[in-house]
Amino acid sequence: MNLRTISLLIALTALGSSLSSCSFFDRGEDRDQFSGLTNEEQFYRRALEQLNSQNFSGAIATYQALESRFPFGKFAEQSQIEIVYAYYRNSDVEAARAAADRFIRLHPDSENIDYAYYMKGLSSFNQDNSFLNRFLPIDQTKRDPGRARESFTDFAQLIALYPDSPYAADARARMIFLRNNLAAYEIHVANYYLERRAYIAALRRGQYVVENFQETPAVADGIAVMVECYLRLGLNDLADTSLALLRDNYPEHAAFDSDGEFTVRTEITNPSVLYTVSFGLLGDNRIEPPLAPTKRPFNSGSQQIIDTQGEVEDEGRSWLDILTFGIL
């Protein structure tokens, strides 16, 4: 056996000894943490004390230890529902939702099942309420709506399955708030498309808000988006119909000027590379001149003019011209 082989064996032995010592100390630390706890009730009382004192990390560890030692004990079910709240208060959204899902799967007939659905939705609802979000002017309607949709779905499931739950009223109020935010998000996306001259995409967003988010404040904005998109696409008849709908139902909308005329935006962005790279500090993002009239009169009569011109053209065309599509 050469010197190199001996050195390798010594190194492996030292590594094994260090790992064993680490494992020994970890077990010792675990024993110290739960020393004096000999039965299930003592573990549960310790976890409850930690939860009430807002030591949520400690409560989570104790609940986990209780379940691992007494998986079928009388406090197991209660521990599994209370750990959901501990995860939620510890700002661990994914763990809270996973714990709620696990409780729903293991205890479908529990009297606390409605609370599990409620906490599942509440965890997603409050995910963005971080320290900075509470003190900075951040518009939540411009953020990714994924969590809001999750929360809305969870609250809707709670109300559908347990309409008489004590948590149903709060869930309904939160659903109204979420629905308003989701509708406002769609309007932000529509405005984004408008600024980039993607009028079909913007129109579909506006129509989606009008069709799917009735009784939200964003419906009026959705109709205004439709009016502007129809104008820029040259669909004047549809623009007049949407404009009449907006004027009849929302006469005080911001799209109307002091004279009651609809005003479309006069600035459409087309950001240059310099403008994009400098986050708007340098370069330009305007298109001049405007792509559409700045004002929309009460009755344009544009469709009537188009129809009249079409009738005149048809009267002056010969049969040969019509049959050959204008070639002869």
Q: What is the pLDDT of residues 7-55, one digit of tens each?
A: 555 655 655 555 544 444 444 445 557 766 778 888 899 999 999 999 9
Angle between helices 218-233 and 168-195 (to 10 degrees): 20
Identify which has the larger pLDDT, 76 or 316.
76
Residue 225 domain flag: no
Residue 44 domain flag: yes
Q: How many domains does the chain have?
A: 1
Average pLDDT over residues 104-128: 91
Q: Which amino acid is at 215?
A: E
List, for residues 126-148, the tens digit of each pLDDT value. 875 555 555 555 666 667 788 89
Give the CATH number, domain containing residue 61: 1.25.40.10
Q: Report pLDDT for 276.
A: 59
Residue 80 domain flag: yes
Domain of 74?
A: 37-110
List, for residues 153-198, the tens digit of each pLDDT value. 999 999 999 999 999 999 999 999 999 999 999 999 999 999 888 9
Per-residue CA distances from 22 to 8, 19, 30 (Å): 21, 5, 12
Listed in order, strand segments (DSSP E) in the chain are 262-263, 295-296
Residue 217 domain flag: no
Residue 70 domain flag: yes
pLDDT at residue 317 greater than cutoff 80: no
Residue 66 domain flag: yes
Q: Report pLDDT for 126.
A: 83
Residue 102 domain flag: yes
List, for residues 222-262, the tens digit of each pLDDT value. 999 999 999 989 898 999 999 999 999 999 898 888 888 88
Mean model confidence pLDDT for the chain: 78
Residue 260 domain flag: no
Q: Report pLDDT for 319.
A: 63
Tokens, residue 231: 């104008």
Buried b (16+ CB within 10 A) or exposed e, 179-207: bbbbbbbbbebbbebbbeeebebbbbbbb
List, for residues 296-311, the tens digit of each pLDDT value. 444 444 344 334 434 4
